[in-house]
Amino acid sequence: MAARDSGSRGFDLVFIAVLSGIVAGLFVFGAGFIYLNHISFFMPAQSRTTVFLNESLNQDVIVTSVFADLKDSVVHITTKGLENNSFEGPVPTRGQGSGVIIRSDGYIVTNAHVVSGAEDIEIGLSSGYVTSAQIIGTDPSTDIAVLKINAPFELKAAPLGDSNDLLPGQLVIAIGNPFGFQNTVTTGVISALNRTLRSSNNFNINGVIQTDAAVNPGNSGGPLLNSKGEVIGITTAIFSTLQGGFQAFQGIGFAVPINSIKEISNELIESGEVVRPWLGVTGMTVNSEVSEVLGVNVSEGVLIITVVEGGPADNAGIRGTVHDPSDPGFEPGDIILEMDGEATDTIDRLVEVILEHEIGSTVLIKYSREGVVHEVEVSLGQRPSG
């Protein structure tokens, strides 16, 4: 096999660096993995023993009260399914997670990855009552799912808070079923706000809450609560390292904010899916390094890698990249510069601008092809589910 030239290797390295960033840790997020740049925190030592003691006593009262009020709203989820094994064929699988009752008529919110691929779902309440559940809808793009159970008694719904009112340092409480240990409560603080995670289908989850409350496998889908006992988020991922072959919690957990969940869960309950506008392309951010490797005169924008056949971009004549840069006939795809007058200097910004529009709306896209700037109108379609 012939060796690639240095230009090809440069493109590959830039491509990987742009898409992945600097690898410094591993997120456990369903069956997928997410990477985040390393962040260091420093907190000066203080000598306020009396104040800390009083705060500790007050916190004990808050936590025990919140747990007593909310434990009946948190459920244990057990899933059963089949996974194809190349040697043994279909193999039975089991999974566990947590969920929270959001309506007294049986609607439950959890993570989409908790119920992904499940054929049977069993819900266990704190009282010991166990029943089956049906999936009302899932949204992998935000890792949220809504389930429904029918119980012969009224269920206790958890009160939902406002994630716009949160502050770093605020006390938070997590309730869930880590490793199958039901009704486990842990505490911590909000470490940071407005983090971004990448979902299993490569979609940005914005406004994510970071916490140091212990969150472990099995906590996924459980509530993150404030001191009033209101749900402010749904735990979805943990930052971990491997120790002795096991994933070890490192004091960094993440939760999808409740304000996003309110909107998503309502859509799932009403229609069974979340619909979003769609351009029908895959792409990567163009910066000065990528521009140099490609040999183009554009240093900011989104290089189109592939165009979905029959999709909105394809119908408008937008072109994707042809072949690998080391292959004969290589041609970089169109580079999108603006949409409706808004600069699209990164792939994430392009997605944000698309989401600002309605399905079926017409947008004006400015793009560069072979050094010449063009404009074209595109009618946005509906993003396929999954």
- CATH classification code of 59-70+159-271: 2.40.10.10
Residue 113 annotated in active site: yes
Highest-confidence segment of 121-135, 177-191, 320-334: 121-135
Read off the pLDDT of each residue in 28-54 and give the average, rounded to a whole number. 37
Q: How many CB atoms lie within 10 A of CB 3?
A: 8
Superfamily of the domain at 277-382: PDZ domain (2.30.42.10)
Within 13 Å of residue 44, how many CA atoms lie on the same side as its CB? 3
At 215, the pLDDT band (50, 70, 90 cuts) reads confident
User: Tell me, what amino acid is at 11?
Assistant: F
Digit-coded pLDDT (tens) for 337-353: 999 999 999 998 999 99
Of the residues 139, 143, 314, 345, which is catalytic? Answer: 143
Q: The domain 73-148: what is its CATH number?
A: 2.40.10.10
Residue 196 Cα to chain centre, angstroms: 8
pLDDT-based confidence at residue 48 (cuts at 50, 70, 90): very low
As a whole number of angstroms, the distance between CA 213 and CA 173 comes to 7
Tell me how far apart the alpha carbons of residues 201 and 195 are, in angstroms, rounded to a whole number. 18
Sole residue written with tokens 């899933």:
79
Going by pLDDT thresholds of 50, 70 and 90, the confidence category of residue 37 is: very low
Write down the pLDDT at residue 198.
Answer: 82
Tokens linked to 223: 């509530």
Per the annotation, the verdict on 374 as an active-site residue is no
Q: Is 350 helix (H, G, I), strand (E, B) or coil?
A: helix
Read off the pTM: 0.73
Tell me which of 73, 76, 98, 113 is the catalytic residue: 113
d(CA 359, CA 361): 6
User: Bigger pLDDT: 282 or 240?
Assistant: 282
Residue 143 designated active-site: yes
Report pLDDT digits (tens) over 244-273. 555 555 568 899 999 999 999 999 999 999
* H helical segments located in 123-257: none
Task: Place 53 in a pLDDT band, splitting at 50, 70 and 90.
Answer: very low
| Best CA proximity match to 318, nearest among 277, 279, 276 | 279
Top pLDDT among 4 and 96 is at: 96
Every domain range in the chain assigned CATH 2.40.10.10: 59-70+159-271, 73-148
More confident: 166 or 237: 166
pLDDT interval class at 182 (50, 70, 90): confident
Marked catalytic residue, from 220, 240, 265, 291 = 220
| Residue whose structure tokens are 């993440």 | 254
Structure tokens at 46: 């203080």
Q: Is 287 exposed, middle or buried (0-12, 13-18, 19+ CB in 10 A)?
A: middle
- Cα within 13 Å of Cα(109), Cβ side: 33
